[in-house]
């Protein structure tokens, strides 16, 4: 378990992020067309997972928009924002915010995702949602980078992520 905070109050996650160099856990996530996506769908491409609790919060929305901007400079990388929001809500968000460079994926059918990636919040007001994290998976399915944001109300360290993408 990892300890993060929500507005300063400590809470635990279901585990730890997968280790750099380890095989990324498979997942089942749903896109805006209600189609399932699995890790193997991205084989041969670098995949960046921007994991957020819900796009219906200012910090999550800001993170999704920032990664949408960063994605423009990395056409060889698939950027995906993963949240508990229903695919319909994700589509509305993208339309309203002009987000179009990232894939939106919902945990709607993939409840195991949070546990398998060690980001399921286990107690407190955000229990059951995913903690804020970034995971980069290389084209062979190996974890190349991880970042668990220690305070849910803060955005990721984008500079660190961009350094990882450049290496």
Low-confidence ranges of the chain (pLDDT < 50): none
For the chain, the C-alpha Rg in angstroms (whole number) is: 14
3-state secondary structure of 54: coil
Q: In this structure, what token pair is assigned to residue 143?
A: 């974890």
Helix (H) or strand (E) run with residue 68 in it: helix 58-71
Enumerate domains of the chain plus CATH numbers.
3-162 (3.40.30.10)
At 12 the pLDDT is 92
At 63 the pLDDT is 95
Q: Is the pTM of this model over 0.85?
A: yes
Judging by beta carbons within 10 Å of its beta carbon (0-12, 13-18, 19+), is residue 60 exposed, middle or buried? buried
At 1 the pLDDT is 84
- Annotated active-site residue 94? The verdict is no
Catalytic residue among 11, 60, 94, 130: 60
């Amino acid at each position: 378990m990892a300890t993060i905070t929500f507005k300063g109050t400590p809470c635990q996650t279901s585990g730890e992020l997968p280790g750099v160099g380890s095989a990324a856990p498979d997942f089942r996530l749903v896109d805006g067309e209600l189609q399932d996506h699995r890790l193997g769908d991205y084989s041969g491409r670098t995949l960046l997972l921007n994991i957020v609790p819900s796009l219906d919060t200012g910090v999550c929305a800001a993170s999704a928009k920032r990664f949408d901007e960063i994605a423009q400079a990395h056409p060889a990388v698939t950027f995906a924002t993963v949240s508990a929001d229903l695919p319909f809500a994700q589509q509305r968000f993208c339309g309203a915010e002009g987000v179009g460079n990232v894939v939106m994926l919902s945990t709607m059918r993939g409840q195991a995702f949070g546990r398998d990636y060690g980001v399921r919040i286990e107690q407190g007001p955000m229990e059951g949602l995913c903690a804020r994290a970034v995971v980069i998976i290389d084209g062979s399915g190996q974890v190349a980078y991880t970042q668990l944001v220690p305070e849910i109300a803060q955005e990721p360290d984008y500079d660190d992520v961009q350094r990882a993408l450049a290496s």
